[in-house]
Structure 1
Amino acid sequence: MQFNPASYAPQALAADRNKVLRNTYAMLALTMIPTAIGAVLGINLEFRMSGWVGMLVFFGVAFGSFYAIEKTKNSPLGVFLLLAFTGFMGFWLSQILQVALSFSNGAQLIGTAAVGTAAIFFTLAAIATVTKKDFSFLGKFLFIGLVMVILAAIANVFFAIPALSLAISAACVLIFSLYILYDVSNIVNGGETNYVSATLGLYLNIYNLFTSLLHLLMAFTGERD
């Protein structure tokens, strides 16, 4: 039988994309470990850092980490930096978890937010994977929405308007849900070929989706003693 490179190429391409997707999901699951460790550590230390100082520290560490991970994404160092960053994110997450745990139904609120986040992620990831539809057209609109949300969040650090805070959380739920669809579609269709970068994107989507859902749940169903 004569080997036909033309017929083999699409199969090899599909196999490569599936490998990236599998590696991304495996690494995404692994990132939950340092996240959980960081969160528990932050809760035990009763870590607090808010206001503009907290904002500057967070954005400084976050964007510094993004740059370093992107530069080293093709090496084991990139994996280490990614895991270290998720540990930091877990530590930072402890602040909202402490607020949630101050409610009498705090554990239930956290569990509901986690289940809701998982349900949204698996549903949208399945849609992108099964349909293989290209959702890249969402990129421009999502980026504009993300910039607007960031600017509103920065403004609300100084104005502290509860209604605006809830509106930002609601917008984040929509934006980061659609980002899951966009990012998984990007992997499935070959737009993203590095699993470290892909994991970072999906991790941030899940993280922000969870915190936004938790914020909304605390506002509407939180019970004080």
Structure 2
Amino acid sequence: MYNPRNNNPYGGGPYNRPFGGRRQNLFGSAYDYQSLPYGYTNTAAQSSSLMGKVLSMLGLSFLIASVGAFFGISIGLGSGASLFVVLLGFVVLIALQFLIQRQGINLFLLYTFTFLEGLALAPLLGAYLYAAPTILFQAFAITAVASIGLGVYAWTTKRDFSRLGDYLFWGLILLIVAGLIGFFFRSPLFYTVVAFVGVAIFSGFVLYYIQRAKYMADTTPNAIGLTVSIFLTVINLFLYILQILSIFSRRD
């Protein structure tokens, strides 16, 4: 494995700087992305090759997650059971961190995780399909357009988003704290503000991770790591957009 410290194409390691002073990625992974050795730069072909792997895995991940959601809806999965699925998915994600270098097993764990994520969302999606299908499909469409647009911008722009990492990490902590406060402080205005902040933070993560792929070595573990991060980022972006649309629909 390449030394992940001070060895990106610029020699300083902005995309290897740990969030919040801790060497881990957005979702707690202990896996250090493999960047290029000092003095080397990614060619356009190498960057495109890694991004091609990520997009292929990401597309299949969302397809499998959709199958999981459809299965959960068809069997009438309840909220209590979905909590167990979430915990099981967390266990699979931890296993993936330890086995991400194991060819074959890593992909199996990746797609098992995405299936479980889709399954866990089944009660929520089922409720919206029954009560407010228009809002659900609007959220899907907005998320897709926003994610693709942000991704294209991050890939083509000359702006550097590497410094966003620390701010996004602390923004994520703020969202978690706000979510806990929301259990006790039930205010529509508070929920609306939190939802918009959530959209801003996860939009920033889309920019950060897509651009990060330019400076990572073209390896399967890197592709899997980026796929997990982008997958969870887009899922969270969708949930916050869905929340915003739901809030405003109640005001009509």
TM-score interval, normalised by the smaller of the two chains: 0.7 to 0.9
**Post-superposition shift, 1:201?**
0.6
Deviation of 1:88 (Å): 0.8
- Residue in structure 2 matching 1:40, options 67, 70, 75: 70
Q: Which residue of 1 aligns with 2:151?
A: 125
Contact 1:39 1:92 in 2 (8 A): yes
The residue number in structure 1 matching 2:161 is 135
State whether structure 2 residue 233 is matched by structure 1 residue 205: yes
Map of 1:19-38 to 2, 5 A cutoff? 19-38=49-68
* Contact 1:47/1:95 (<8 A) preserved: yes
Contact 2:196 2:240 (C-alpha < 8 Å) held by counterparts: yes
> Counterpart in 1 of 2:170?
144
> Counterparts in 2 of 1:30-109, with a 5 A limit?
30-49=60-79, 57=84, 60-74=87-101, 75-103=103-131, 106-109=132-135
CA-CA distance at 1:99 after TM superposition: 2.6
1 CA distance for matches of 2:218 and 2:202? Answer: 18
Structure 2 gap ranges (5+): 1-39
Q: 1:71 to 1:86 in 2, by over 3 A?
A: same
Post-superposition shift, 1:177? 0.7
Q: CA deviation at 1:101?
A: 2.4
Change (3 A) 1:133 1:72: farther
Deviations 1:142-170 (A, max 9, x none): 000101111222343x4272423333322
Deviation at 1:54, TM superposition (A): 6.8
Which runs of structure 1 show a deviation greater than 6 angstroms over 4 or more consecutive aligned residues?
none
**Amino acid in the other structure paired with 1:161:** R
TM superposition shift of 1:210: 0.9
1: CA distance, partners of 2:85 / 2:158: 35
Structure 1: stretches of 5+ with no match in the other structure: 1-8
Contact kept in structure 2, 1:121 and 1:177, CA below 8 Å: yes
Could you tell me how far apart the structure 1 residues matched to 2:197 and 2:85 are? 21
TM-score by length of 2: 0.74
Cα distance, 1:214–1:206 mapped onto 2, change above 3 Å: same
Aligned length: 209
How many percent of aligned residue pairs carry the same amino acid? 27
In the alignment, what sits opposite 2:31?
none
TM-score (norm 1): 0.82
Change (3 A) 1:192 1:204: farther
Q: Deviation per CA, 1:87-131: give whole Å up to 9, x if none.
A: 11111111221231232xx22211111110111111111111112
Bigger mean CA offset, 111-120 vs 192-201: 192-201
Higher helix share: 1
| Partner deviation per Cα, 1:154-200 (whole Å, 9 max, x = no partner) | 343x4272423333322211111110000001002338851000100
2:164 maps to amino acid: L
CA RMSD of aligned residues (A): 2.6
